[in-house]
Amino acid sequence: MRRVIVGSGVAGVSAVEAIRGADRSGEIIMLGDDPHGYYSRPGLAYFLTGELHDKALFPKTREDYARLNFSYRKARAKGIDRRAKAVILGDGSPLSYDKLLLATGALAAPMTVPGANLHGVAKLDHLDDARAILKLAKRGRTAIVAGGGITALELTEGLLARGMKVHYLLRGDRYWSGVLDERESRIVEARLQEEGVEIHFRSEVVEILGRSGRVSGARLLDGRSLKCDLFAYAVGIKPRIELAQSADLACDRGILVNEFLQTSDPDIYAAGDAAQVYDPLTGRSVLDSLWSPAREQGFAAGLNMAGQSQAYIKTVPFNVTRLAGLTTTIIGAVGRGGDEDLVGIARGDSETWRQLPDAAVAQGGFDINHVRLLVGADRLIGAVVMGDQKLSMPLQKMIAQRMDISPIRGRLLVKDAKIADIIVDFWTHQAEA
């Protein structure tokens, strides 16, 4: 049996691992158009700051790939002939398949203002983008960064680390307002400002200015103009669904799949950033652009392609990132859920954080420690942990396992309650039970 995988990212590689674990002899062919193959996209932020060498972005060795026993072809898939069960390659030749996985990923959404094609306008999508940014990032020069999420902040920190003066443009009145509460946004903003970043709130670019084909600044909606030598943006992502659309597969914002990662053609699967996955717990189809879900989806798709019946059940969202140098864990639902049954509470530091069992994640030395919980009727719905991360593992397990917190819910909601102490005590007793 021949399984063909389009895409060389984490979802595609995880599918290969799953297939090979179930079938040691079946043929596997991976098609990839990224010149660098498989590498850690989340690691690009640390490559920008100089904390990681580019070689450290590649997690697998030649020996690892040899053990997986698959063929890799640097080729672009331009079509699918579903009747003939063949992928049409860029040169027009067909590649037959028995099972096909579309792990095509997503691209950075483009800037659509005049001047977006000038030299010196950059995004952080691929390793080549990061290398191009580093060539442009000269100490003492000025950069403008536009965008309100994690990637824009990573660009800001990376350019700052390279000695650039950075103007950071936010369309709203605070940073990442869809996820963080106001206090958390202000913590991030204050840390950036302390490092010399100039933040411009309620600012939107209407034109990128240039001189002799190179970027020289940006004009804002309010009429102001800012000068710069580099303009970097991160304004969202766009799932790569064109291949699926050309094959008349069911698509919405992403490629629609069932809980077994099958598209509207049962012999074609999709996983990762391009897939809009049916979640049987909520009855909705959702896009998920995080690294871990892409890996889990790819693995489940691979098992199904190998003949095993493996439903993908979306796990509680869990993301560890760094915001303005502050390690931050985001678990579950923490943004604007609009659920009237949820109660949000936030507290600061507590010495008891340092008394958790050794099994908990231990990371200290931060000048800011903050935790926010979203409390439902009888369980925790979500959490944000900034700074010291000793609470992140217990909170992740409490939320993922939907632990009944009725015994401590009232104590958590008391004004000025030391919620870290309460969580530590509850978790310790649960571990001992």
| Rounded mean pLDDT, 79-91 | 97
Q: Which of 398, 254, 377, 257 is nearest to 318 (CA)?
A: 398
| Rounded mean pLDDT, 393-408 | 94
Q: Give yes or no for a contact between 380 and 399, defined as CB atoms under 8 angstroms apart.
A: yes
In whole angstroms, give the CA distance from residue 61 to residue 147. 35
Condensed to tens digits (0 to 9), the pLDDT of residues 152-173 reads 999 999 999 999 999 999 999 9
Please say if the pLDDT value at position 337 is more than 60: no
Alpha helix positions (H), 208-267: 242-246
Token pair 């699926």 is at which residue?
244
Q: Which of 402, 390, 389, 397 is nearest to 431 (CA)?
A: 397
Condensed to tens digits (0 to 9), the pLDDT of residues 255-288 reads 999 999 999 999 999 999 999 998 876 788 989 8
pLDDT at 284: 85
Q: What phi, psi does 181 have (nearest 5°)?
A: -85, 175
Condensed to tens digits (0 to 9), the pLDDT of residues 211-227 reads 999 999 999 999 999 99
Q: How far is CA 81 from the centre of its chain?
A: 32
**Side-by-side strand order, sheet with 275-279:** 255-257, 275-279, 284-287
Q: To 10 degrees, the CA torsion angle through 197, 201, 205, 206?
A: -150
Q: How does residue 419 score in pLDDT terms, banded at 50, 70 and 90?
A: confident
Please say if the pLDDT value at position 354 is more than 60: no
State the DSSP code for 251. B
The pTM for the full model equals 0.90
Q: Which of 26, 112, 117 is nearest to 307 (CA)?
A: 26
Output the average pLDDT for the chain. 91
Q: Give yes or no for a contact between 156 and 169, defined as CB atoms under 8 angstroms apart.
A: no
Residue 246: what residue type?
S
Q: How does residue 362 score in pLDDT terms, banded at 50, 70 and 90?
A: very low
Condensed to tens digits (0 to 9), the pLDDT of residues 34-65 reads 999 999 999 999 999 999 999 999 999 999 99
Q: What phi, psi does 64 have (nearest 5°)?
A: -60, -45
Q: Give yes or no for a contact between 113 and 206, defined as CB atoms under 8 angstroms apart.
A: yes
Close Cβ partners of 335 (under 8 Å, ≥ 6 residues apart) = 178, 179
Please say if the pLDDT value at position 364 is more than 50: no
pLDDT at 203: 97
Condensed to tens digits (0 to 9), the pLDDT of residues 97-146 reads 999 999 999 999 999 999 999 999 999 999 999 999 999 999 999 999 99
408-416 contacts: CB < 8 A, separation 24 or more?
409/375, 409/378, 412/345, 412/373, 412/375, 413/343, 413/345, 413/375, 416/347
Q: Give 3-state DSSP helix, strand, coil % of the chain, rounded to 5.
A: 30, 30, 45
Lowest-pLDDT choice from 36-50, 361-375, 416-430: 361-375
Q: Give yes or no for a contact between 271 and 15, defined as CB atoms under 8 angstroms apart.
A: yes
361 vs 431 pLDDT, higher one? 431
| Direct distance between the N- and C-terminal alpha carbons of the chain, in angstroms, rounded to an integer | 49
Q: To 10 degrees, the CA torsion angle through 13, 18, 19, 23?
A: 140
pLDDT at 359: 32
Per DSSP bridges, beta strands 326-332 and 380-386 are: antiparallel
How big is the CA angle at 388 (ends 384 and 393), to the nearest 5 degrees?
60
pLDDT at 201: 97
Q: How does residue 356 score in pLDDT terms, banded at 50, 70 and 90?
A: very low
pLDDT at 348: 56
State the DSSP code for 262. B
* % of the chain surpassing 90 pLDDT: 77
Catalogue all structural domains in the chain, each as residue range(s) with its CATH number.
2-107+238-305 (3.50.50.60), 121-235 (3.50.50.60), 318-432 (3.30.390.30)
Please say if the pLDDT value at position 328 is more than 50: yes
Q: Cβ–Cβ contacts within 10 Å for residue 223, how many?
A: 7
Q: Give yes or no for a contact between 190 and 77, defined as CB atoms under 8 angstroms apart.
A: no
Condensed to tens digits (0 to 9), the pLDDT of residues 176-201 reads 998 999 999 999 999 999 999 999 99
pLDDT at 369: 85
Token pair 């989806």 is at which residue?
297
In whole angstroms, give the CA distance from residue 56 to residue 46. 10
pLDDT at 18: 98
Tokens of residue 211, six digits: 């001189």
pLDDT at 347: 59
* % of the chain surpassing 70 pLDDT: 92
Q: Which of 37, 75, 74 is nearest to 59 (CA)?
A: 37
